[in-house]
Structure 1
Amino acid sequence: MRTTTALRRAAGAAVCDGSRTVVQAGRDLHLSWPIVQRCFEDYAATVQPQTPPETPAIGIDETRRGKPVWKQNPATQKWELLADAWHIGFVDAVGGQGLFGQVGGRNATSVADWLSSQPASWRAQARYVAIDLCSTFRAAVPRALPHAAVVVDCFHIVQLAQRHLADLRRRLTWRQHGRRARKGDGIYTVRKLLRRNKEDLTEDQHSLLKTELEYMGTYGRQIYAAWQAKELLRDLLGPAVSRTHVTPDRSAVSAARHRFLAHVADHAHLPELIILAATVDQWWDGIETYLTTAITNAPSEGNNRLIKLEARNAFGFRNRANQRLRSRCATTRRSRREAHPH
């Protein structure tokens, strides 16, 4: 069928800017799926920049795309990976400009190759790279951006402390009871309080936490010591400029770090705390950069949510290139709307 320029543009804008699926846009405009898809691709090519906009901070994170695709090599009879199940996304960590691009394969080579393929001016502007506790991403950054500093996201540091605390609680509960905690056990009563922040506990809740763990005996005191270590780690992250709006004093940061490490040293018989302290030391440069810059990887997590929502609305994607284009349009929709409000 013949279509006008205005109709083709409306079809492309409905998918790219209006967050409609291709099927929904086709029903609304009485067009077939292939026509709307071509209109969307043409429209996206006009509104999406050819190169990513410059930014001082980049966020890197992975999101699962689906199942990996394998193919058997007829010559060697070995199965070879054609498409990885993971997509690595590169986003603007401070400017809200959305997703810059995606690449398949969760490995350092894929990350370094994508960063190296960008213009030299873009790479020169990137001074920080925000990541989670992924050694793969950390290894890739110096290869492509040797001048950039790695920033460790504070959420994942606290999440790691919570995970080690939960592992220790379960281990000691099994050692004391020979089973999982159940209703009526002291540790069962306070299991959720252990995940709470110290400042969010009332006096009665804090008293209940101490009383129940003290009643457990040695194992309870060890669990309480692990909870204190988690809170000391949070105190270490507390002076970040994002919370105080003042660059933290190095002596205050050093004192907080010493208190945490000293507490762990006093409880060196708890392997979970030793592993936590070793991880903090291993990633200390990135943690210290977070304290002075307040850059986090939250934009990457937010974009991952939009990417998954786009895939759910479309009931999944078969074409990976189409999925990356749809994902980029979905994550840059807000920034394009703010740049052109009318």
Structure 2
Amino acid sequence: MRRVAQALGVAWHTANSAILARAQRMGADDPHRLEGVEVLGVDEHIWRHTRLGQRYVTVVIDLTPVRQATGPARLLDVIEGRSGRALQDWLAQRDQSWRQGVEVVAMDAFTGFKTAAAQQLPAARAVMDPFHVIALAGDRLDECRRRIQRQTTGGRGTKTDPLYRARRTLRTGADLLTDPGAQRLQELFAHERHAAVQATWSIYQRLIQAYRAQDRGLGRFLMQRAIDSLTRPIPAGLEEITALAKTLTSRSQDILAYFERPHTSNGPTEAINGRLEHLRGIALGFRNLTHYTTRSLIHAGRLKDQLKATTYTHP
């Protein structure tokens, strides 16, 4: 922005205001920007840290280009808050024909997004994507490892503790383990006190195996078997598996829907969230949500190319 202002011979604020005004016209004020959306991705992130707490936004992503292999995902809008109500209100503002055109909504395990999509997009298929399913199972595995660590050592793990040393190896897919890694897990699971970690690790690996199956039909079968195994009574001492089972069984249809909807993943949504994290870092943070939304649309909503295509003539 500074170089643009210098090239035009104007103040930084003048150049910044002009670019933001044009981006606003091409973004939020452009009625054609949301056309052709068939696959939505929704997620949330922290956009500002304050002394009173963290402030969240919900991001709405167009995943249609990814499914059609015509380009990258694009940011559609940034909504204040991270509640299901915030997403529901945003969807309600779209016209009926637009809502009917949405076929799939990719999301995480947050039930608020599921409820909002069901109410405003009843014909769309909700898909809980692999990224969040594996991340959820991995978090439960970490929780189990830390709990057993505290029970066996009386405190947090150190670099000499076997469980702590294996923290990354436990999160590695079994088919990607090196010989030393496999040996490390074998020695770890040889101890009865690590039985809970091994049980949680086994569920985690079964989910990975299902998603990595070359045949989608086989993947669905493996996932269905893994979820069905969690409907049976779970022994005491496996609190993390119990918590994971509650989510996987209640959202089983959304998880299995992934195998029926190829190329439906919230991975591109997470990638855009990462780009916005980088944007906030470059700007040293934002204080104005409208400003942040406009900047986000420029960097992740395909507005940058349109701005570059505009020729400004300095008198």
State the TM-score, normalized to the length of structure 1: 0.77
Q: Secondary structure at the match of 1:182?
A: coil
Residue 64 of structure 1, CA deviation: 1.5
Q: Does the 8 Å CA contact 1:153/1:295 hold for their aligned counterparts?
A: yes
Most deviating of 261-270 and 292-301:
261-270
Aligned to 2:154: 178
Which of these residues, 301, 315, 337, is aligned with residue 270 of structure 2?
301
Q: 1:142-189, CA deviations, whole angstroms, 9 ceiling, x for partnerless residues?
A: 121111111112111111111111111121222222223334433344
Which of these residues, 239, 252, 257, is aligned with residue 284 of structure 1?
252
Aligned to 1:314: 283
- The 5-angstrom pairing of residues 71-82 of structure 1 reads none
Listed as ranges, the gaps of 5+ residues in structure 1 are 1-20, 71-80
Which of these residues, 56, 61, 65, is aligned with residue 86 of structure 1?
56
User: Aligned partners of 2:94, 2:6: CA distance in 1, in Å?
Assistant: 39
Q: Does the 8 Å CA contact 2:73/2:268 hold for their aligned counterparts?
A: no
Distance 1:263 1:204, change over 3 A: farther
Distance 1:34 1:173, change over 3 A: closer
Aligned to 1:54: 36
Residue 309 of structure 1, CA deviation: 2.6
Residue 280 of structure 1, CA deviation: 0.6
Q: 1:242-272, CA deviations, whole angstroms, 9 ceiling, x for partnerless residues?
A: xx3x5425xx634543256437858522111
User: Aligned partners of 1:35, 1:335: CA distance in 2, in Å?
Assistant: 18
User: Aligned partners of 1:301, 1:99: CA distance in 2, in Å?
Assistant: 11
Q: Does the 8 Å CA contact 1:58/1:91 hold for their aligned counterparts?
A: yes
Distance 1:154 1:173, change over 3 A: same
Which of these residues, 219, 241, 249, is aligned with residue 273 of structure 1?
241
The total of aligned residue pairs comes to 299
Which of these residues, 135, 140, 147, is aligned with residue 159 of structure 1?
135
1:103 is the counterpart of 2:79? yes
Counterpart residue identity of residue 40, structure 1: I
1:232 is the counterpart of 2:206? yes
Q: Does the 8 Å CA contact 2:203/2:226 hold for their aligned counterparts?
A: no
Counterpart residue identity of residue 56, structure 2: W
Aligned to 1:66: 48
Distance 1:176 1:328, change over 3 A: same
Indicate the percent of aligned positions where both proteins have the same amino acid: 23
- The 5-angstrom pairing of residues 244-259 of structure 1 reads 244=214, 247-248=216-217, 253-254=220-221, 256-259=223-226
CA RMSD for the aligned pairs? 3.0
Q: Secondary structure at the match of 1:248?
A: helix
Distance 1:173 1:147, change over 3 A: same
Residue 132 of structure 1, CA deviation: 1.3
Aligned to 1:121: 97
Distance 1:153 1:24, change over 3 A: farther
Counterpart residue identity of residue 222, structure 1: A
Aligned to 2:68: none
- The 5-angstrom pairing of residues 163-242 of structure 1 reads 163-214=139-190, 216=191, 218-239=192-213
Q: Does the 8 Å CA contact 1:26/1:32 hold for their aligned counterparts?
A: yes
Listed as ranges, the gaps of 5+ residues in structure 2 are 66-71
1:262 is the counterpart of 2:229? yes
1:149 is the counterpart of 2:149? no
Distance 1:266 1:106, change over 3 A: closer
Structure of higher CA gyration radius:
1
Q: Secondary structure at the match of 2:18?
A: helix
Q: Does the 8 Å CA contact 1:213/1:220 hold for their aligned counterparts?
A: yes
Q: Does the 8 Å CA contact 1:150/1:289 hold for their aligned counterparts?
A: yes
Q: Does the 8 Å CA contact 2:126/2:257 hold for their aligned counterparts?
A: yes
Residue 130 of structure 1, CA deviation: 0.9
Residue 139 of structure 1, CA deviation: 1.4
Q: 1:118-152, CA deviations, whole angstroms, 9 ceiling, x for partnerless residues?
A: 13222111111111111111111112111111111
State the TM-score, normalized to the length of structure 2: 0.83
Counterpart residue identity of residue 219, structure 1: R
